[in-house]
A and B are shown apart, each in its own frame.
Chain A
Amino acid sequence: MHFAAYVGLLFALLTSLFLAGLAAYASWQSRRGALPFLERGQLLNAGFVVFSCYLLLIALVGRDYSFVYVFENVDNTLSLLYRITAFWAGRAGSLLFWHLIMAVAGGVFVFTRGYRGLSDGTKSLYWLLFNLTQAFFLLLLTGPSNPFIEAVPAPADGLGLNPLLQNPGMAFHPPLLFLGYGLFALPACCALASLLAGEARPWIRVCRNWNLLAWAFLTSGIILGGWWSYMELGWGGYWAWDPVENASLIPWFSATAFLHTSLIESRRGALQRTNVFLMAGTFLLCVFGTYLVRSGVDVQSLHTFGEGAVAVPLTVFMLGGLAIALVAVFLGEKPVYRALSGFTSRQGMLVITAWVFLALGVVVGLGTMWPVISKLWSSTPVGLDPTFYNRVCLPLFTLVVLVFCVCPWLGWKEGLRDMRGAAGTAGVFAGSLVAFWFAGVRVPLALIAASGAVAAMASIVLLFVLTPRMRSSRHSWGAYGVHLGMALMALAVAFSGPYKIEGEGTLHQGESMQVGDYLITNGKLTQERSRAVLAYKAELTVTRDGRTVGVVHPERRWYPNSRNSFAEVAVIPGLGDEIYTTLLGYDGKDGSVTISASVNPLVNWLWIGGTLMSLAPLLLLRRNPEPA
């Protein structure tokens, strides 16, 4: 089975290389006849990859420890769900999953109306670039990141999946990220091919659905990752600015900047080359994220980094991709130049938004690589802690929120288009400033961000009230749904960060501790045992002003198979305060517990806003993104 699965990938590699050669020949000689071969070839290619993935899945589900990959990620106690999710739990499997998405998406693209409408020249160049990308991934998968290495003799049991990864988050967070990464390959290749071939049809419309889907998947993957670290990893926070977290955020920033500049292109025909560069850059930044995670580059992360065997090939791929992008942008067919409208227009605000998102991407990239960069002048690497990111990024996020308060009221060409809406939004902003101030919000940035978020939400409501045709437009609900989600997230961050109250302490049975306005009392300690886990559960009663708010049962779980103990946090969820408790330790004899507890204000609006941001783009999808 190992051999068959490996051969599947090998055939896919050979097919990709052959198709890339054929596409290069077709582009050079302007041969139209090669296109059917290229299109069917992609289906064959995807078929080989699906075959190999199927074999890996069978091996994981059937606990076939003769696969080294299965041995490293599965054990005899692991449930079916986590045996399946182990597919993307390891280095090689996650890369294979990413490639699977890319290969299948490439096959689906052939049947879309947008693809069929492209010129033959663009199609040939697209297949050249897409097959080169696939070949690169397949080279890694058949070389340094091979998931089909055989273990001889096959062990009787595996090492298992790390308990921290045994969480529903594992079933969604990584595959969503890889779905985003994989889907960006397609518009990136299409954008470059269009510019190089002088395509008459706007690629932005052809790839509209792919862009939106990739962005929605990436967004949901990042937000689920935040929720996972908050709930499961017991960090008590949702974002630690760790290099591995930043790795997925950097392409998200560039993709978000692109979504804003692409609006200008599709409405006004400007910024064509900027958009090609941003799209190609977004995909290359996805690869850069992988480089950060797996190259062994010295960025001292909370996460354990993989070995550096893939560092050189990834660097070569990124530099090659950048060179192609620069060639396309500077030497490709010159599009018709269209100037931007005035600064005080919706276009102007979209440009500022794009700048700010790009600035955020640069800051996060710079901060992540700072230990490496600082070696240029320092004998010891200098790391940056969350203070740096918060100090630089939060003002920029606040600026985005403020721009969003203004943007909907500006015309596409110049000036205010609706005085009532603008005045109403400004009034809500001023009112919120005063209200939050008197409510005790005195941190200046939190005050402005929170007021901006409320004003941004008010502006959306006002827009729908004052513009009746927007209420019947699916597109408006989608676009403003995303922005409403972002405003909710901004509100959550403005409060849950600076106004979080934490406390730690050891409590004997019946003893209490105060955290903010809440009194937490220790009840009885219980023990539960199953085949895979031994769990100690505390019982904590939370009261406020003498009234019971709820009872929580934070746990410590001992996993004998991995000889590790982990905390399972417990919360009392709320749209206002959320009570978050972790059991740090216990005494089985006298029932005393050591706990950490925090009061996190408005934190759940982060997940509500994030869900809205992830789902609303689906309303923007069009059946015919590019009408004939």
Chain B
Amino acid sequence: MSAKASKGVYIAAFVLLLGGLGYLIASGLSQGATPTLSVAQAKESDAADLQRVRLFGKVLPQDIALRDDNLGVAFIVADEVDPAVSMRVEYRGAVPDTFKEGVEVILKGDWDQGAGVFRASQLVTKCPSKYEEKRADS
């Protein structure tokens, strides 16, 4: 194959890969993109916009109710900046070890307007990893 023809094949392959990648990214974004809101932002949003969102905030100490079978918990999540702004959450599923009052959580789920609660299908507590900031009690 001549050098020119070979270059053409490389360009064609690159364009093909780029096109495939673009398609994958676009379809990935349409399925995997979830608006991430603070509790304050969620409070300001329309109920219709609170379907399939991620919510982050801090677990308040009062009203934490673990289900009897340990497979769920109801609690109040407060905005990280303004703790006075809060939301009731009901979560079904395995409760992470690190879940307790005061921890920061990321919740995935929908707002149930009728019941006035955020129904979470996923609850992740931030991993207190090696890069942890100074603890509040230190």
Contacts and interface: CB of A to CB of B under 8 A. Distances in A.
Interface residues of B, number: 53
B126 A304 contact: yes
Nearest to B9: A343
Interface string B80-98: 0000000000000111011
Interface in A296-346: 300-307, 339-344
Which of A162, A343, A378 has the largest count of B CB atoms less than 10 A from its CB?
A343
Contacts of A506: 68-71
B1 A380 contact: no
B17 A352 contact: yes
Which of B37, B108, B130 has the largest count of A CB atoms less than 10 A from its CB?
B130
Contact of B10 (A90, A162, A242, A340): A340
B46 interface: no
Interface in A352-381: 352, 355-356, 359, 363, 366, 370-371, 374, 378-381
B47 interface: no
The 4 closest A-B pairs by CB, nearest first: A388-B32, A585-B70, A387-B32, A594-B70
A44 interface: no
B25 A355 contact: no
A385 B34 CA distance: 7
Q: Looking at chain B's contact residues, is the secondary structure mostly helix, strand, loop, or mixed?
A: mixed
B71 A594 contact: yes
A565 interface: yes
Contact of A391 (B24, B130, B135): B24
Interface string A168-192: 0000001000000000000000000
Nearest to B97: A566
A505 B72 CA distance: 12
A308 B2 CA distance: 54
Contacts of B115: none
A348 B10 contact: yes
Given A233-B127, A382-B35, A386-B32, 12 more contacts: A90-B130, A162-B132, A164-B98, A234-B97, A342-B1, A363-B25, A381-B36, A383-B33, A385-B34, A388-B28, A395-B24, A504-B71
A351 interface: yes
Contacts of A72: 134-135, 138
A564 B104 contact: no
Given A359-B17, A366-B25, A304 B34 contact: no
A91 B131 contact: yes
Nearest to B17: A355
A304 B71 contact: no
B119 to A, nearest CB: 17
Interface string A580-597: 001011000000001010
For chain A, the bracket of interface size reads 35 or more
B29 interface: yes
A607 interface: no
A104 interface: no
A229 to B, nearest CB: 9
Contacts of A381: 35-36
A351 B93 CA distance: 45
Nearest to B37: A380
B79 to A, nearest CB: 13
B110 to A, nearest CB: 15
B31 A88 contact: no
A274 B95 CA distance: 48
B80 to A, nearest CB: 11
A468 to B, nearest CB: 31
Interface string A69-92: 001100000000000000011110
A294 B28 CA distance: 27
Interface in B20-47: 20-21, 24-25, 27-29, 31-37, 41, 45
A584 B13 contact: no
A94 interface: yes
